[in-house]
Structure 1
């Protein structure tokens, strides 16, 4: 076999393996995005920009404890947010009691802002009297399980070079 054909074959095998691993992780970890690249410094020194975080889907809000790092979607934000749970509250959303999570990045001085819901902004009063946003259960996608340091820097650099980041 000619050398270039071998290289193309290995490249194709590598692509199939990568997509196979991604599909397997989706099933095994119960999430559409089992690997995410950290795009901000809000969680330093735990996660740095360019780290890749392995996520596990959350199927029950009781799986989330204070101190866990969760990933949630927020309306109006392009990327999911990955921050630490500091408090857990039970609130009424659409007339039903539901858990919500006060979060903020380890490198941020204040909690995340109030979360927009169909009932208005979701916020709670913390023990110190501060009013903080609270992330509803339905917005939580996953929990952080493991970090692979810096392996996402190249894709971030490429996205920035192409004006996509």
Structure 2
């Protein structure tokens, strides 16, 4: 077999293996995005920009506790947000109780802003006596399980160089 054919064969095998691992992780961890690259410094020193975080899907509010790092999508934001749960409460949305999480990055001084809902911005009263925004359980997609430091720096650099992020 010619040298170029061998190289093409190895490339095809590598792509199949990577694709298989990705599909396997999606199934095993119950999430469409089992690996995410950290794009900001809001969670330093736990996660740094360029770290890759392994996620496990969240299907029920009882899977999330204070101290967990969750991933949620917020309307108007391009990337999912990955922040720590600091407080759990209940709010009423359309007359029904909904679990709601007060979150903020370990490197941020204040909680995340109120989550927009059909009832208006979601907020809860914290034990310290002030109002804080909260994230409804239905917006939570996953929680962090493991971090792979810095291996996402190259894809971040490529995205930046191409003007994609």
Q: How high is the TM-score relative to the length of structure 2?
A: 0.99
Runs of 4+ more than 6 Å apart: none
Question: What CA distance in whole angstroms lies between the structure 1 residues aligned with 2:114 and 2:126?
Answer: 13
1:140 aligns with 2:140: yes
Q: Which runs of 5+ in 2 are unaligned?
A: none
Q: How high is the TM-score relative to the length of structure 1?
A: 0.99
**CA deviation string 1:87-117 (max 9, x = no partner):** 0001111110110000000000000000000
- Classify the secondary structure of the residue corresponding to 2:4: helix
Equivalent residues in 2 for 1:88-127 (5 A)? 88-127=88-127
Question: What CA distance in whole angstroms lies between the structure 2 residues aligned with 1:118 and 1:34?
Answer: 29
Cα RMSD for the two superposed structures: 0.5
Look up the match of 2:59: 59
Look up the match of 1:73: 73
Q: What's the CA shift for 1:130?
A: 2.0
Aligned residues: 165
Look up the match of 2:15: 15
Q: Which runs of 5+ in 1 are unaligned?
A: none
- Classify the secondary structure of the residue corresponding to 1:115: coil
